[in-house]
Amino acid sequence: MTSTAAVSMPSSEAEAVAAVTTQPFATVLAGGTLLVPQHTLGQVEVERAVWLGRAEMDGISRSNGRMTVGAAAPLAACARLDAPVGPCAADVGDNEVKAQATIGGNICSPVPYGDLRGPLLALGAVLRWADPDGTHTGGIADFAASGGARPGVLLLDIAFAVPEAGSFVALRRHHTQSLTAMSVSAVRGADGNVAIAATGAAPDACRLLSAEAVLAGGGSIAEAADASVADADPYDDVLASAAYRRRVLPVYVGRALEQLGE
């Protein structure tokens, strides 16, 4: 941040909520791995910043079979969690990035970032966030539908049931450096049902409901993998073409499901 930006440093979640929801155009600053470079390059203007480094929003706890992760928890800490969240967090950037970047910042980042939206979508995670109208809870899609990361909104924490098993696989290409062109997350819940989600198969993270239905009906992994393309909406970007994404999606769905069964 430049010397012309006003910076608030709240010391609690309540203070952070007040700072973000009552200050017009307040920008949330957590790890800053995207915001700071963008600001330095003049791509983003910051008038007021609310830094979460002292807000005690970085806790990770487990109780009654559920994990609760504070939005300011660094990815280095999230990388120690079970699949699919742990391996996904470990796959983001280098060690320096993981030490600074936060799970909340990742969730709120635009494509092709936002890697963790896939695992959290598969887990049916519940997000808690605050805005000028109060505190809200909902899934990844609900948070996005509400406007997601915008001025006046602060993501507080993420909660999800610990699955019986989880898996995560990512498509890496040499020219993409630290960016993931596609990933697939799969989880098996206590009820035995399997949920599958992907990033890079559509403009945002998506559930692969057709593949899930095949498995629920007793179909094979190969059949479920083939069915996954029915829920894809692939696109072209610098990481991969739409045609390539469509072609490799079944391969990565198959790998995630095989890993889930190990």
Task: Name all domains of the chain by residue range, CATH numbers in brackets.
Answer: 6-51+60-161 (3.30.465.10), 174-261 (3.30.390.50)
Give, for all 262 residues of the chain, the pLDDT tens digit. Answer: 555 678 899 999 999 999 999 987 888 888 877 777 777 777 777 788 899 999 999 999 999 999 999 999 999 999 999 999 999 999 998 899 999 999 999 999 988 889 999 999 999 999 999 999 999 999 999 999 888 888 889 999 999 999 999 999 999 876 666 789 999 999 999 999 999 999 999 999 999 999 999 999 999 999 999 999 999 999 999 999 999 999 999 999 999 999 998 5
CA atoms within 13 A on the CB side of 63: 6
Question: Can you give the pLDDT at residue 74?
Answer: 97
The tokens 């791509």 sit on which residue?
43
pTM: 0.93
Distance CA(224)–CA(27), nearest Å, equals: 42
Q: CB burial class (10 A; 0-12, 13-18, 19+) of residue 192?
A: exposed
Nearest alpha carbon to residue 12 among 158, 154, 160? 154
pLDDT, tens digit (0-9, with 9 covering 90-100), for 218-247: 999 999 999 999 999 999 999 999 999 999
Asked if residues 57 and 71 have their Cβ atoms less than 8 Å apart, the reply is: yes
